[in-house]
Amino acid sequence: MNESDRKERIRQNYLSVVDEVAVAAQASGRQPSDVTIVGVTKYVDAATTADLVDAGCGSLGENRPQVLWQKAESEELKDQPVQWHMIGHLQRNKLRRLMRYAPMIHSVDSRRLLEAVAKEAGEIDQAVDVLLEVNISGDDAKTGLSPDALLELLQEDRGPLVRIGGLMAMAGMGTDQGAARKQFADVRMLRDKLAASTGNPLANLSMGMSGDFKEAIAEGATLVRIGSRLFDGVL
């Protein structure tokens, strides 16, 4: 596929996702602008990632910190106004370089990581937006925090630089859309409960991917992390 065909295909993919997100939002009485599409670009290089930005997608998600910063520093993207999102497992020793690009960190999945983020934010005197990753399936093998651990972390004071803005969740592997919707509903109810008991509104819910974003929006997702759909026909 040549460069201009690729660019056009990505633009069409993005616009159709924008439409579907808007329809899903309206169907559940919400505004399209209540839902941010985070384009997950882990499948493609910096040039193809830039095609998605040119199509209008200003929020990009990566699951590996090194790739996020390499792209943020690349010729193709360094001057683009991108809001970065870190959506995958993060090691503490990667935080410093990552935080130069002020990503929203969706994948805070342990107390140790949250404490390291707080420490780093203090050292560089920069606020950081984070989401706490929930283990919804209750599966020990999965990453994410249990409901009890979430409550405990939310009751602690970490100062104004660490802004815990909500929860992130992934439906279990191989979950069908009906079961995924049920899991997303559980996340929303957990959020409502935690918000009531801690006073933190936890306004953001990061849930839903290419295969289940409509279900997630129906259950209140404010950030949908969409990858493969955007690169249909390109990969």
| Among the listed residues 72, 110, 225, 234, the single contact to ligand PLP using CB under 6 A | 225
- Closest approach of ligand PLP to the CB of residue 194, in Å: 21
Q: How far apart are CA 32 and CA 34, in angstroms?
A: 5
Q: Which of 199, 185, 107 is nearest to 151 (CA)?
A: 199
Could you give the 3-state DSSP secondary structure of residue 217? helix
Q: Does 89 bind ligand PLP (CB under 6 A)?
A: no
State which residue, 37 or 218, has the beta carbon closest to ligand PLP: 37
Q: Which residues of 143-154 are buried (b: 16+ CB within 10 A; e: fewer)?
A: ebbeeebbeebb
Q: How many residues bind ligand PLP (CB under 6 A)?
A: 14
Q: Please list the helix, strand and coil fractions of the chain in percent, rounded to the nearest 5, in that order.
A: 45, 15, 35
Q: Does 40 bind ligand PLP (CB under 6 A)?
A: yes
State which residue, 173 or 196, has the beta carbon closest to ligand PLP: 173
State which residue, 88 or 119, has the beta carbon closest to ligand PLP: 88
Q: Which of 35, 34, 38 is nearest to 60 (CA)?
A: 38
- Closest approach of ligand PLP to the CB of residue 106, in Å: 7
Q: Does 207 bind ligand PLP (CB under 6 A)?
A: no
Give, for 104, the enclosing helix (H) or strand (E): strand 104-108
Give contact residues for ligand PLP (rule: CB under 6 A).
40, 42, 63, 87-88, 170, 209-211, 225-229
